[in-house]
Amino acid sequence: MKATRRDLFKFAAGGATGLLLTPAPWRLVTDAALWSENWPGIPKPVRGELRTRFTHCALCPAGCAVKARCVGDQPISLIGLPGKPLCAFGLMGHQLPYHAGRVRQADADAVRAVIAKRAANETVAVLDLRPGRTASWTYRRAMAALPRGVYLAARSSVPAVNLDAVKIILSLGVPVLDGWGTPSNVQQARSHFRLIQAEPAESRTALLADQWLKIRPGTELELVEALATGRGGAGTGLNEKVIASVANELVQAGALFLAAEESPSVLELNRKLGAVGKTIVAQREAPVPRSWKPAPVTPINSVPERSIGVLLIDESAADSYVPWSKLEGKLAPDALVVTFASSQAGYGRQAKHLLPTAVYPESTGDIPPAIDSPLATFRLTTPLVAPPRGVVNPAQFIGGLAAIDAADALRERAGAIHAAGRGSVCTYADGRSIPVEDIQPDQFWKALNDGACWIDEPGGKLLPPVLRASTPAVVALNWEKRAARGPMPPLVSKLYQESNLRVRI
């Protein structure tokens, strides 16, 4: 006999009923829901033992102490020390290595060969965007060793500001409260200085300043002239009364500091108002080995036009930059420009070769004393994660050009500091501060690597800085400008994109 269609229906019906009495359908429904908990694309955080490690933040010259919470060896979050907090960007530092726009590969050897060939009979110049590091010394030694080496620093003179003495600050567009100096210092000093911000844009510093002079773009220097001479200033868009009152305030204030991008007239006014030597003092550097023979710091303006054959730019740590227009003229027609950077955003556009560098917190190096620290300091950035293969260490690369082995430069300098026997070393793990003469050189070195800071002893009077008034306008990088010029940690989207908190200026 043959099954009719109706029988099939019945069969199916029976099947359905039967199936309902088994776990299968219910389990499938449950599993589908569970699957939605970890369907593809949801990462699983790595579990492991939590450890704490210390280093210094290399994102800006403040070089804040960093306490890293790590799973195994991988940092998962950064935090400052008690009373010495990190800024928003420092808190994201550990994500910088994973920035999407990062350059990873380049044929360093080929570039080295080319440079070596040209270095024989052409002028080689190094542009250092964060002077005062041990790496900077390596550059200067290398340039001294090369037949025609020139060492250019973004800032020809690095003055320090004695915030304790400051009573009033007139800032010409300098992000005093947002990426300038050491956050904790500025925070503490803020209570006893008055801040007048002259800036066209509605920056955070402008918002938080005691007074905001909303001047027309590019009229900073006109304002300075007006303040100095008591005449003019109409171009700034401010009325005379305001300018006069500000000028008056500046004169009245016992100790003031005029923050601005380097320019002759600003320095002049600073001298005139008596800031120099009182609040603007000479930056002190940590001792260096006597054997190091550095090339002098050449102001960019005094470099002859079209003279540079090979220009090497170290962008790996940049606090400020020289506008390309200022550099272009100095280059020989067929000049070779090589930049050391982690992304194309900076000089990468103009350079012929871009050699990828490690980024914080992969990089090993030291941070020069912050602009608001009149005392010499020595702080290492010890890498928290291993840099990817194929990155170049600029100091060792450039040192290599002059047959200088810079691999141990940091340790040599630490040795020199220890030999000088001044100052003390503060270790972060236990918060203790030990005079240098009380510990052995290798202990000193170990302490520095495990997270410690060497600070010179306060003694000695603050010397007035050596100021050269002949450098081009160097642009200080506030966080907005940094975001535009270099890679930023992916999570800055929270600040710039997913909220109205910060706006790119």
Partner 1 sequence: MSARSYGMSIDIDKCTGCGACMVACAVENNVPPAPEGVNERKGITWIRVFRLDNGAEGVDRKWAFLPMLCQQCGENTPCVSVCPQQAVQLDPATGIVGQMPERCLGCRYCMAACPYHARYFNWWDPSWPAGMEKTLNPAVAPRMRGVVEKCNFCHGRWHAAKARAAAQGRRDLDPADYVPACVEACPTSAIRFGDLNDLENAPERGSFRLLEKLGTGPKIYYQTQRDWVREIAAAPGGTERAHG
Partner 2 sequence: MSHRGTLFFLAGALIALGAGWAGFPRVIYRSRPQPVEFSHKVHAEKAGMKCEDCHEIRADGSFAGIPRREKCAGCHEAAMGTTLAEKQFIDGYVTPQREVQWSVYARQPENVYFSHASHVKLAHLECATCHGDHGTSDSLRPYQEDRISGYSRDIWRAMKMNDCVACHRSHGFEKSCLDCHK
Partner 3 sequence: MLMFGLYSAGLCLVKGLNQTNMDNRFAFGLWIFLDLTVIALGAGAFFTGFLLYILKVKELGAVINSAVVIGLVCYSGAVAALLVDVGQPLRFWFTFWYPNVHSMLTEVTFCITCYLTVLLIEYVPIVLRNRRLRQVPSFLIFEFELHKLVYVLAGVGTFLSFFHQGSLGGLFGVLRGHPFAFREGLAVWPSTFFLFVLSAAAAGPSFILLTTWLVSKISNRQLVRPEVLPLLGRISGMLMIAYVLAKTVDTLIWINHTSPGAGVPAWQYYSWKPFGTWILFAEIVAFGLIPALVLLTPRLRLRSNWLVSAAALTCIGIALNRFVMTLQTLALPTLSFDPFLSYFPSWQETGTFLGVVGFGVLVYSFSFRYLNLFPQERDLEQPEAAPVREPALAGRY
> Can residue 33 be called a binding residue for partner 3 (CB under 8 A)?
yes
- Of residues 38-67, those binding partner 2 (CB under 8 A): 38, 42, 44-45, 47, 49-50
Tell whether residue 45 is a contact of partner 1 (CB under 8 A). Answer: yes
**Does 201 help bind partner 2 (rule: CB under 8 A)?**
no
Query: Do the Cβ atoms of 219 and 229 come closer than 8 Å?
Result: no
Q: What is the DSSP letter of 36?
A: T
Q: What are the tokens at 474? A: 């160097």
Q: b/e map of 432-458 (b: 16 or more CB within 10 Å)? A: eeeebeebeeeebbebbbebbbbbbee
Here's the x/- map for partner 1, 471-490, by CB under 8 A: it reads as -------------------x
Per the CB < 8 A criterion, the answer to whether 142 and 377 are in contact is no
Provide the token pair at 359: 């980024």
Count the neighbouring beta carbons within 10 Å of the beta carbon of residue 341: 27
Residue closest to 65 by CA, chosen among 496, 488, 426: 426
Q: Which is nearer to partner 2, 8 or 484 (CB)?
A: 8
- 9 sits near partner 3 (criterion: CB under 8 A): no
In DSSP terms, 381 is beta-bridged to 365
Judged by CB under 8 A, the chain residues 60 through 119 that form the site for partner 1 are 71, 74-80, 85-89, 91-92, 94-95, 97-100
> Among the candidate windows 28-36, 183-191, 335-343, 424-432, which touches partner 3 by CB under 8 A?
28-36
Tell me how many residues contact partner 2 (CB under 8 A). 34
CA–chain centroid gap for 424, Å, is 25
Comparing CB distances to partner 3, the nearer of 19 and 463 is 19
Strand partners of residue 212: 197
Residue 388: DSSP 8-state = P
6 binds partner 2 (CB under 8 A): yes
Among 16, 29, 120, 473, binds partner 3 (CB under 8 A): 29
333 contacts partner 2 (rule: CB under 8 A): no
Nearer to partner 1, 277 or 388 (CB): 388
Considering only residues 34-73, where is the footprint of partner 3 by CB under 8 A? 35-36
Q: Which is nearer to partner 2, 15 or 218 (CB)?
A: 15
The backbone region for 181, taken as left when phi is positive above 0, alpha when psi lies in -120 to 50, beta otherwise, is left
Cβ neighbours of residue 491 under 8 Å, at least 6 residues apart? 92, 95
When CB distances are held under 5 to 8 angstroms depending on the partner's kind, the choice from partner 3, partner 2, partner 1, none that residue 18 binds is partner 2
Q: CA distances (Å), 66 to each of 69, 71, 91, 107, 210, in order?
A: 10, 16, 9, 33, 31
Using CB under 8 A, count the residues that bind partner 3: 5
- 323 interface partner picked from partner 1, partner 2, partner 3, none, CB below 5 to 8 A per type: none
Give the shortest CB-3-to-partner 2 separation in angstroms. 7
CA angle, residues 485, 486, 490, in degrees to nearest 5: 125
Rule CB under 8 A: choose which of 32, 46, 100, 403 binds partner 3: 32
**Cα separation of 29 and 50, whole Å?**
38
How far apart are CB 29 and partner 3 at their closest, in Å? 6
Residue nearer to partner 3 on the CB measure, 29 or 50: 29
Both ends of the chain: CA-CA distance in Å?
Answer: 86
- Interacting residues with partner 3 (CB under 8 A): 29, 32-33, 35-36
- Interacting residues with partner 1 (CB under 8 A): 36-39, 41-43, 45-48, 71, 74-80, 85-89, 91-92, 94-95, 97-100, 177-178, 183-184, 187, 204, 207-208, 490-495, 497-502
